Structure 1
Amino acid sequence: MDANSNKTSTSPSAAPLVSIVCPAYNQEAYVAQTLEGFLMQQTTFAFEILVNDDASTDGTARIIADYAKRFPTLIRPFYHETNQYSQNNPPVPRLFGEARGRYIAYCEGDDYWTDPRKLQIQVDFLENNPDYVLTYHDAIPFDISGQYPIQLQGKLRGDATALELQKARPISTLTTVFRNVFDSLPPELRAAPLNDLVWWSLLGAYGKGKFMGEVKPAMYRLHPGGVFSMRSNKRKLHMALQTSGALANYYNRLGNQELYEHFLMELVEYSLSAITPKRKMQTLLAVGQNFSTNISKRLMTSLSKGHVQ
């Protein structure tokens, strides 16, 4: 962790099979419900809870400290004196590096789980299926007005191939349990704002993803303090654009042409979505002219090579 962080020295008496990772910031009203969702888990194996307070200015750190005092063999709290997210230095995935478990379960401090068998079901599957790297299930968005339809629809409520994961397929982040295979990001990906999409892409190098419909949906809270959910559509689009660009750079360095071109195409699509209709037409005309010019050059080169006097 950074120089301004500090953690407890206590750790679970038994080596945990699962590490629950929970970043929190200014979630005084919600974090207790999140922690209770962890503590209610019924498992045949040991697990630990790593909860990180990113220099909250409300009572979040106090609530975390109270739970850590009550459950010292389960909860490992981390506290920052300076907010790391605002300095483009988010505590995750570095917090993954602190995890002792073979598997990581992820849930932020304003969301919560509803199924006490969640961890057991997802971990049992991963233990018995080494070709899978990630499991996930449904999540229901909600706010003070009530609940909304499940977060992911259609084909996204199904399994993912390794390639689909590498292409950063959307997944309900608060529902995931995955193998603990990385604790840092490649340099191209460290500034990508949609870091969960980056995680899925990296995990795809290790296996497939399994959708588990038998697990009760988790609850995804929409509120003004949400890091992503309450951003403007314009800001969300810009975050997606930046993330696709970062992934394109990463796969270009690896020499993976298929994934490089996939994220370049996403970059183009997001860029077109971000500009005004007038600019969009100008851009498409310019692309068409550029395409015609390049095709003409290639044809002339081919003809001159094949012509014999």
Structure 2
Amino acid sequence: MLKISVLLILSVGVLLAGDKVLKLSHQWPGGGKDVRDKMVRIVADEVEKANVGLTIKIYPSKSLYKPKEQWSALVKGRLDMTALPLDYAGGRHPEFSATLMPGLIKNHDHAKRINNSQFMKDIKKVINDAGAKVLADSWLAGGFVSTKNCILEPDDVKGQVIRAAGSNFEEMLHGAGASISSMASSEIYTALQTGVLDAANTSSGSFVSYRIYEQVKCLTAPGENALWFMYEPILISMKTWKKLNSKQQEALMKAGQKAETYFEKEAKNLDDKLVSTFKKAGVKVVYMSKEQADKWKKIAAETSYKSFATKVPNGAKLIEEARSVE
């Protein structure tokens, strides 16, 4: 009888400790329509398979928090997890804007090398100190679109109102003669449709997910000389992390690694899908040459790089660390 009672108590204890629900918020379309949504669903599925008493409930399409509200909610412990463009938190931690810096990363192979660099170690220290932890790395390539003309040379943006993802791109594009309008990527479609924007840049995934091909004439696609790369990790609140037991933490880390491996394979496919989707919609597709990309980088060095190095603690060091990765 005593043995049965002990087993019953243990069973009840397991039941009480189990089924802890973690809320995960992101801004992209759900249902596996966006690769970042697929990425977080891999984490949720793998954690469920691990049978460690964790369930991850996903809130896509800004249904729980607006895009730029997620970081604050995460570090305060109101939100457990997110898939977030880290630059969105650049207002609170200006170092994060280095993860959306024109020309620092040129292609997917380069991005993979950056993940293991001192640059990313320094960025992750800021993330940890602020109250969050990275479960999976992901870098998305991106490009430019316009309702007027193809954007290849800096002169091509003169006189256009453009949505530039992040302050560093804004400074570079302003230096090239563009006017700037800031907004989340989820708002680009309507802004192009209503004439608020003439042009925009964002990730390959967002260009397709938000059907931007319906509103533009030309796409400058990422290739070997992309200017646009953005870091969009899966993050967990440190407050949440510390409440989990070691098996739950281990399950999350393994799930995050599986999601990261999946994304590494899918990142280039996103660019291929971008090009094929836009071509099918009748949009002209062009690529930047190394010489054209270098012209942009020269403007970036005089604007965004210089400003970042001056205003951000360790800004010059971060830029140099990233540029030293071949």
TM-score range, shorter chain: under 0.3
> Max radius of gyration: which structure?
1
Task: Report which structure shows greater RCO (CA 8 Å, sep ≥6).
Answer: 2
Q: What's the TM-score once normalised by structure 1's chain length?
A: 0.26
Q: What's the TM-score once normalised by structure 2's chain length?
A: 0.25
